[in-house]
Amino acid sequence: MAVGGDHRLLNDPTHYTYGADWQRVFQVVPELLEPLAPDWASYEQDQHRAIEALRAYAERGIAAVESRLVENLSGVSQGTPGIGFQGAELEHQIAVALQSSVHLACVVTWVVLEDEEAFDSGNVALMFVDALGRVVRWTRIEPASVSEVGGAWADGCWVEMDEWLEGNIGPEYQIGGSCGGLLFESMRDA
């Protein structure tokens, strides 16, 4: 298992063979979950801000959303109103963007897991995790792409990568998950 931006490789099977319970590695090496923000207060403030924006949208609709986001999604900011999303699709895309901002605020590091499926498919699991080691989003990538993820992470542009944008939502961030309630309540209303 390669972990985080400095590519720690945890490959000693006598210490790091957890199978499906791979997240136990964070109990052994908890410093892997240090937040990106300079301190915990900043990390928590970013989360709070993103959650409040999503909550405001769920309660008050499009009027509660930053005009810049609405303009970008509707095509107004490109000088082509009507070309972007409109009506119900615009509202859905706003909810998706706000949900993504909450997910982004929760991520503290990334993990590459070479599991049984990796040996079968040839693709490793790339997971973005929160401060408690819960998977926020995940996908499968070719091992050769891991260095690209590392570079994007270092450059701060990983949130623009398809691996993030199109990644699967982790179990705790889905409906019924410990972190998913508000997110999906807002998505349902949109």
pLDDT in tens, 4-24: 445 556 666 666 677 677 777
One-letter amino acid at 155 equals D
CA distance linking residue 148 with residue 170, whole number of Å: 22
- CB distance 106 to 127 below 8 Å: no
pTM (whole model) above 0.85 = no
One-letter amino acid at 65 equals V
CA distance linking residue 63 with residue 61, whole number of Å: 6
> Which residues make Cβ contacts (< 8 Å) with residue 185, sequence separation at least 6?
58
pLDDT in tens, 110-144: 888 888 888 899 998 898 988 888 899 999 999 88
CA distance linking residue 129 with residue 104, whole number of Å: 10
